[in-house]
Structure 1
Amino acid sequence: MFSWDQTAFVEILGVIPVVTDEFGTDYSFKVTRPSVTLTIGINEDVGDCSVLLHCSSNDSPIFRAVYLHSPGARVVRDKRGYFIEIGAPGSFSGSYDSLQPLHHGLRIWVEPDVFVETFGGA
C-alpha cells in the first residue's frame, strides 16, 4: 500500500486530482504553467507512480519517470520551499510512514517554477 497524504499534495500542487478506479484507485494531478505541464500519476493500491513533463510545443514528454511499487511520497520543506518527494522502489525497507527519509527517488517543486530532480543512489 502506497503511503501519502492526498490533502498535502492538493495544497502543494494547487490542483484537485482526477480519480479513477479502473485498475485500483488512480490519482492524476496536472499542473500547467505557461511553457510546461507536469503530470503526476499515482496508483494508491500498488504504489505505481509516474511523473511526466511536457513542453507546450511538443507532444512527447521531455521528462518521464515511472516507479513501480513505490513505498510512498511525502511533502517536505527546505530552504527552497515545499516539495514532493516520491520514493523509488527499494528506497525504504519495511513499512514506510511518510516521516522517515527516503534513500532515493524524485523531488518535485511547482513554485516558483516546475522543477524535478532525482536524489540518492540506487
Structure 2
Amino acid sequence: MFDSKLWRYIFLTAILEIIIIIVSAIIIIAFYPAISIYVVIGAIAIIVIYLCFSYYIYKPVVKHQKIDPQDEIIGQTGVAITDLSPRGQVKIRSRVWSARGTSKIIISGTKIKVIQMDGIQLLVEAIQE
C-alpha cells in the first residue's frame, strides 16, 4: 500500500495540523471570550472531517506515484561479479543480484546492462567498450 516512511510523514503532518488548529482555537477563546465555544468546536469538527476526506482523495494519487522496482532497475549498468555462463551474479548500485546473460559467457569484471527483470533474476548483456 504505502511506504512506511510515507505513512510517517502523513501522520506527522496530520498531527501537526491538528495541534495548530487546537492551539489557534485556545488563543481565540482566550482573547475573544465573546465567541462561543460551540463555534470553535464546530470549526475543529469541520477541519477534522476535511482531513479525513482528504486522506481518501490523496490516497489513490500517492498510490500511483510508487515506482515499480522493475522499471527502476531496467537500463541500469553494473559489473559482473562471477562468470555468467549463463547464470551468475552481478553488482548494480552496490546490490548483488542473481543474473543470466543473453547469449555468450560474460566474464567476471565485465560491465553489463540490465535488459529485463524476471522475478528476482536479471537478464543482462555485456556492454561493448
Higher helix share: 2
Higher strand share: 1
**Which structure's relative contact order is higher, taking Cα pairs within 8 Å and 6+ residues apart?**
1
Query: Could you say whether these structures have the same fold, taking a TM-score greater than 0.5 normalized by the shorter chain as the test?
Result: no
Quick check: which has more Rg, 1 or 2? 2
